[in-house]
Amino acid sequence: MPDLNRILLVGSGGVGTMVAFNIEASGLGRVAAVLRSNYTKVLQEGFEIDSCEHGPIKGWRPSEVLKEIPTITDIPWDYIVVVTKNVPDIPPTVTDMIAPAVTPGHTAILLIQNGLNIERPILERFPNNVCLSGISMIGSQEESPGVIKHYDVDVLILGAFRNPNISRDREVASAKRFVGMYTAQCETRCRYVEDVQHSRWEKLVYNTCWNSICTLTDMDTGRIRLTDHAVQTLVRPAMEEIRAAARVHGVNLPAELCDRMLELDPLTMYYQPSMLVDMRKGKFIEVENLIGEPLAAGTTSGVPMPTLNVLYNLLKAKQWATKEKLGMLEIPPGGDYLTQRSFPKHKVHTRPVEEPSL
Amino acid sequence: MPDLNRILLVGSGGVGTMVAFNIEASGLGRVAAVLRSNYTKVLQEGFEIDSCEHGPIKGWRPSEVLKEIPTITDIPWDYIVVVTKNVPDIPPTVTDMIAPAVTPGHTAILLIQNGLNIERPILERFPNNVCLSGISMIGSQEESPGVIKHYDVDVLILGAFRNPNISRDREVASAKRFVGMYTAQCETRCRYVEDVQHSRWEKLVYNTCWNSICTLTDMDTGRIRLTDHAVQTLVRPAMEEIRAAARVHGVNLPAELCDRMLELDPLTMYYQPSMLVDMRKGKFIEVENLIGEPLAAGTTSGVPMPTLNVLYNLLKAKQWATKEKLGMLEIPPGGDYLTQRSFPKHKVHTRPVEEPSL
């Protein structure tokens, strides 16, 4: 029997909980999950999962339920799997959060997160650790604390980000070991890919464009498609800008991909992309990794991206507004128009107002 | 004593009521005001006005208070003054509304409204009538039905739109007659201008840019300025696009105008432009005349307007969403993700889930 993998899971909501369940079910890994809003509920009653793949499950817990990220002890974590949102513009960053638990040179850090260049701060801080890329296609939501609705098949695309300090063989072995664990019960649901950047750009065609446009209009993908004009003037041009930016970075995405990503969600599903969900809940949005990084990747290489440029700067302003609402910014007092200008306070009419004689 | 001008006022909120008050106070005009939401209140109690220029006024009414636009009788209206929002994409249009009251060849139609090309449907429908352009700089709001807070001086810039079927002299005379009436009590507050398009483009530098960006970010002008990045990446570029579009139409606006329009509102006034106010109230927005028309005017003449193009199409989608919310659109049923895809409903795990032996 192979060694059990010791896994620290950071973020156990809709996606993370199904990752944990899958690993534990394989018999090849043992998961310690760090919970936040659902900690008490799960500690007391376990998760309640309604899964399209695993059926209804009540009272399930991973091997360990933790309230915060533990400091490393003698036994290192083999993998730290991060399934939180990635909002580098709002502290604490992912890197800061996981730092106490990373054993240099040993722990592989798997980011199951969207966006571009998310590995950069990880590789900078942990130059001798493997960093893995996970792109999850699962449909799974935490409908209330500890209650998971897993409604669409769990597909996980996994590979290694390139760390120049580490041999490619070691990276690949680490990625494949995780895939082996994940697929122990079902061959198809986790797939190793050589070129993780290709997969990331591919998913950005969907994620960058739908997330930004749905969030700014406060509309789901189905409604945007029903307008038709917004698809032709915003979604498709934005998708083409992502394709152009990918191309300049050596990632060739076929033109048909845009059509596929335009119609990926059934129209009448009225799907709310994650950024729209976050915005409607008043949470921070993943604007930097989903929009800012691909935009910068393209424009710094001379690719014109006029649509995404405007979308990005509008979303960045909305992020600022969320900071203010959450009390992270102080703004100068004011707001009463009567005190703001030196208005004349006298009457300009000398003549009394009376009924005009007709 | 000159003939009393017979004036039909359409829209008597913050701006329209002060126009009516001013005309009646001059002794040169008699106003019949068509009221909607404030009809009953004003009929019974009159307007309550707190005016920075006229002082506190209680129980004031124009000469006539009407519930709807009257059909023309023997005595024609000399002026129809329209001070409603102008939302040509949502019926009824201004033209349709006023049509029953227009005496062909006699009534001058004064549009105290924002935006570009608002005279086009008027001139098309009433080819033998004078159409006047009013740009109001007043600060005045209806705080509740019939209660007007007039907080910033009443400045009205007035001139004639060019109607090729009418002599320029007649147009100018009609405009100046109105100005004369408006300034009977105070010389400075209404100003005749020869070139109304210049004034309109000038005001668009403020209106097009601040309205669109504040509405899409759900932020007032002060907050946008506090972000700084949004001024540099959105507001200023949009203003420069309006300047370029104006230039191609023979209207030369100085570069300093952008700076002036950027800092027009005191920062800590946290001013909400009218479109933001409308959006927050769930009302339709003046997207076509304020954004769509100047955008089309520029782009059809080859002016690149990438910022305003994106802003316009986002706002147009939001207008669609407002239509849906107000029950003017039917969308196909759907929305439950569980019924939308053919998800596998079986378990893929064959192995029972158990505590892994460590």
pLDDT tens-digit readout, A68-123? 999 988 899 999 999 999 999 999 999 999 999 999 999 999 999 999 999 999 99
CA A87, CA A137: separation in Å to the nearest integer?
A: 20
Residues above pLDDT 90, as percent of chain B: 85
Distance from CA of B355 to the nearest CA of A (A): 7
Query: Contact, A150 vs A122, CB < 8 A?
Result: no
What pLDDT sits at residue B188? Answer: 61
Chain A residues within an 8 Å CB radius of B318? 217-219
**B59 or A153: which leads in pLDDT:** B59
HSE-CB for A21 with a 13 A CA cutoff: 30
The answer to whether the Cβ–Cβ distance between B332 and A60 falls below 8 Å is no
Vertex B220: Cα angle to B214 and B224 (nearest 5): 75
Which residue's structure tokens are 């909305």? A318
Q: Is B321 on the interface with A (CB under 8 A)?
A: yes
3-class SS at B125? helix
Contact partners, residue B119, CB within 8 Å, separation at least 6: B111, B131, B133, B161
Q: Is B333 on the interface with A (CB under 8 A)?
A: yes
The answer to whether the Cβ–Cβ distance between A271 and B345 falls below 8 Å is no
Chain B residues within an 8 Å CB radius of A30? 356, 358
Please report the DSSP string for A139-183 in residue order.
EEEEEETTEEEEEE---EEEEE---TTS-HHHHHHHHHHHHHHHT
CA B273, CA B204: separation in Å to the nearest integer?
A: 12
Query: Contact, B220 vs B167, CB < 8 A?
Result: no
CA B18, CA B152: separation in Å to the nearest integer?
A: 11
CA A4, CA B306: separation in Å to the nearest integer?
A: 55
Reply yes or no on whether the pLDDT at A180 is more than 60: yes
Count the neighbouring beta carbons within 10 Å of the beta carbon of residue B68: 11
Query: Contact, A51 vs A18, CB < 8 A?
Result: yes
The answer to whether the Cβ–Cβ distance between B226 and A331 falls below 8 Å is yes
Confidence grade of residue B3 (pLDDT, cut at 50, 70, 90) = confident
The answer to whether the Cβ–Cβ distance between A321 and B223 falls below 8 Å is yes
Class of domain B5-194: alpha beta
Size of interface A-B (CB pairs under 8 A): 222
Q: Report the phi/psi class of residue B137: left, alpha or beta, with left for phi > 0 and alpha for psi in -120 to 50.
A: alpha
- Element housing B81 (H / E): strand B79-82
Which one of B30, B52, B349 has the shortest CB-CB distance to A25? Answer: B349
CA A120, CA B287: separation in Å to the nearest integer?
A: 42
Tokens of A331: 């703004």
In sequence order, which ranges of chain A are alpha helices (DSSP H)? 14-26, 39-45, 94-98, 120-125, 168-182, 196-217, 221-227, 229-230, 236-248, 256-262, 274-280, 287, 293-299, 306-325, 337-340
Which one of B27, B216, B334 has the shortest CB-CB distance to A216? Answer: B216
What pLDDT sits at residue A184? Answer: 87
Preceding omega of B92 cis (within 30 degrees of 0): yes
| Of the options 3.20.20.70, 1.10.1040.10, 1.25.40.10, 3.40.50.620, the CATH number for the domain spanning A199-326 | 1.10.1040.10
Query: Contact, A156 vs A222, CB < 8 A?
Result: no
What pLDDT sits at residue A353? Answer: 45
Q: Where are the domains of chain B?
A: 5-194, 199-326
Which one of A30, A230, A356 has the shortest CB-CB distance to B4? Answer: A356
CA B79 to chain centre: 20
Count the neighbouring beta carbons within 10 Å of the beta carbon of residue A91: 9
Which one of A310, A335, A347 has the shortest CB-CB distance to B54? Answer: A347
The CA distances from residue B38 to B32, B81, B82, in Å, are 14, 18, 17
Query: Contact, A226 vs B335, CB < 8 A?
Result: no
Distance from CA of A343 to the nearest CA of B (A): 6
Mean of the pLDDT values across residues A299-322? Answer: 98
Distance from CA of A163 to the nearest CA of B (A): 32
The answer to whether the Cβ–Cβ distance between B348 and A189 falls below 8 Å is yes
Query: Contact, B352 vs A60, CB < 8 A?
Result: no
Q: Is B2 on the interface with A (CB under 8 A)?
A: no
Lowest mean pLDDT among A158-167, B199-208, B347-356: B347-356
Which one of A57, A219, A229 has the shortest CB-CB distance to B313? Answer: A229
**A305 or B336: which leads in pLDDT:** A305
CA A52, CA A152: separation in Å to the nearest integer?
A: 7
Q: pLDDT digit string (tens) for A215-263?
A: 999 999 999 999 999 999 999 999 999 999 999 999 999 999 999 999 9
Mean of the pLDDT values across residues A200-216? Answer: 97
Chain A residues within an 8 Å CB radius of B153? 343-344
- Element housing B49 (H / E): strand B47-51
Q: Which of residues 160-189 of A touch B (CB under 8 A)?
A: 185-186, 189
The answer to whether the Cβ–Cβ distance between B217 and A4 falls below 8 Å is no
Which residue's structure tokens are 């400091």? A71
User: Taking the model in full, what pTM does it have?
Assistant: 0.93
Name the pairing type of β-strands B5-10 and B55-60: unpaired
Which one of B55, B310, B350 has the shortest CB-CB distance to A234? Answer: B310
The answer to whether the Cβ–Cβ distance between B314 and A213 falls below 8 Å is yes
HSE-CB for A220 with a 13 A CA cutoff: 15
Residue of B nearest to A60 (CA): B353
Which one of B25, B313, B333 has the shortest CB-CB distance to A230? Answer: B313
CA A186, CA A22: separation in Å to the nearest integer?
A: 10
The answer to whether the Cβ–Cβ distance between B358 and A4 falls below 8 Å is yes
